Amino acid sequence: MGAVLSLEQAWKLADSWYRDRLSADWRRRTVDEAHDLFRSLGLTSEFWRLT
């Protein structure tokens, strides 16, 4: 059950997701933007669908 990521995938996910969080320009990703990010990291299964 669930999803298993390599350490490298988890780091890239954390880096992509949070790198700009301190910026005043940061805004919450849209669902499509989040899906694009997951896809870019190879996270394409149903598990990573937000809707």
9 in Cβ contact with 42 (< 8 Å): yes
Residue 26, φ and ψ in degrees, nearest 5: -65, 140
Q: Of 33, 42, 44, 47, which one interacts with other proteins (CB under 8 A)?
A: 47
- Give the orientation angle of helix 7-18 with respect to helix 31-40, to 10 degrees: 150
Does 14 sit near other proteins (CB under 8 A)? yes
CB of 39 to other proteins, least distance (A): 12
Does 32 sit near other proteins (CB under 8 A)? no
Joined together, the tokens standing for residue 43 give: 């996270």
Binding site for other proteins (CB under 8 A): 1-11, 13-15, 17-19, 21-22, 24, 28, 38, 46-51
